Structure 1
Amino acid sequence: MSPAMIFNIHLALGYVPWLLCFGAYIWPRLRSMEPREAQRAIATLHSFRFFGLVFLVPGVTGPDLPGGFASFAAYGDFATGLLAMLALLAVARPAIFWPLVVAFNLVGVVDLVGDYYHGTMLDLPGHAGQLGATYAIPILYVPLLMITHVAALYLLVRRGLGEPAAT
């Protein structure tokens, strides 16, 4: 089996355990929380996305990792992480908190969709070995990030429609 095929299998299967875990443990808890606390929990996870800058550190990734992928992924993660941190700092000020929650989720989704797009266009599976120490990020971390962005956006829409938190 080629490294590209293994990488693609890893990408696809990375969602399976997270969806199972999310459905069994995380989603029921998020749905039962007050909207602000649920978004705060999701923002806490995403506040660690500053780590995406690691794609730009020489020696952590291989020299032949497509630059168009590395830069977009690094700066998209960094922007999302900063917005999530700002949301956490503003949690006591709803007029600031909620727009920041929307912002970090929209920027985060654009980042991840853009990463998938750039990865496809630049043949990231064919360069999977160049991910080096960052290989685990798209396989283990990105699925949870995407799932929680979808959940956060769903909760935002549900909140906007005036539906109370489930009990």
Structure 2
Amino acid sequence: MDTLAIFLTQLIISIFVFALLAKWVVHPWLADKKTKIALMILIAPHSLRHIGLTFMVPSVTDPAIPESFVFTTAWGDFTAGILALIALFALKNSWKLAIPLVWIFNLEGFVDLIYALSQAEAVPTLAGTWYIPTFIVPLLLVSHIMIFIGLIKGVGKTEQR
């Protein structure tokens, strides 16, 4: 198998596994939580997206990694992480703008991940950062989708929103 085929295989299987866990375990568990708590749980992993700055560390990635990938991915992840923290604080403190802030975070974070994944030319140069897009990104994608569903259809106990 070539590098891109291995990457896509790992990415797809990871997305599948996280989607199954979301359906079988996470979604039923969140159904008993207040909406703001359920959203906070789903947003929490995104507060660690500062890890994406690792793409900027020369000794961790191949020197041939495209600069456009490094810049947009690292700063897109960092921005999503900051927005996630703001959304968490807003939900925790019941700010009036909490739900709009969750939307802003979720839209920016989701678009960032999709854009980063569309840059296939970077795959052979990921080196030590390989596990970010093949393990962490699938978890984040699934949680983004769960957040979108929660924002549109509702998540948690309706009477406690």
Pair in the same fold by TM > 0.5? yes
Aligned residue pairs total 158
Q: CA deviation at 1:48?
A: 0.5
1:59 aligns with 2:59: yes
Matching residue's letter, 1:65:
I
Q: In the alignment, is the contact (CA less than 8 A) between 1:61 and 1:133 conserved in 2?
A: yes
1:34 aligns with 2:34: yes
When residues 19 and 165 of structure 1 are mapped into structure 2, their CA distance, relative to the original with a 3 A threshold, is farther
Structure 1 moving runs of 4+ over 6 Å: none
Q: In the alignment, is the contact (CA less than 8 A) between 1:66 and 1:124 conserved in 2?
A: yes
**CA-to-aligned-CA distance 1:30-65 (integer Å, 9 cap, x gap):** 233211011111121110011111111111111011
Question: Structure 2 residue aligned with 1:156, among 133, 151, 154?
Answer: 151
Name whichever of 87-96 and 147-156 sits farther off: 87-96
Instruction: Give me the whole-angstrom Cα distance separating, in 1, the residues matched to 2:115 and 2:148.
Output: 18
Q: In the alignment, is the contact (CA less than 8 A) between 1:87 and 1:96 conserved in 2?
A: no
Q: Give the RMSD, CA atoms, in angstroms.
A: 2.0
Q: CA deviation at 1:96?
A: 3.0
The equivalent of 2:112 in structure 1 is: 111
Instruction: Give me the whole-angstrom Cα distance separating, in 2, the residues matched to 1:165 and 1:6.
Output: 46
> Gaps spanning 5+ residues in structure 2: where?
none
Matching residue's letter, 1:132:
A
Q: Provide the secondary structure at the position in 2 that maps to 1:143.
A: helix
> Gaps spanning 5+ residues in structure 1: where?
none
Q: Provide the secondary structure at the position in 1 that maps to 2:101.
A: helix
Q: In the alignment, is the contact (CA less than 8 A) between 1:83 and 1:104 conserved in 2?
A: yes
Q: In the alignment, is the contact (CA less than 8 A) between 2:43 and 2:143 conserved in 1?
A: no
Please give the TM-score of this superposition, normalised by the length of structure 1: 0.86
The equivalent of 1:17 in structure 2 is: 17
Query: Which structure has the higher relative contact order (CA within 8 Å, separation 6+)?
Result: 2
Q: In the alignment, is the contact (CA less than 8 A) between 1:46 and 1:145 conserved in 2?
A: yes
| Percentage of identical aligned residues | 32
Matching residue's letter, 1:164:
T
Instruction: Give me the whole-angstrom Cα distance separating, in 2, the residues matched to 1:29 and 1:58.
Output: 41
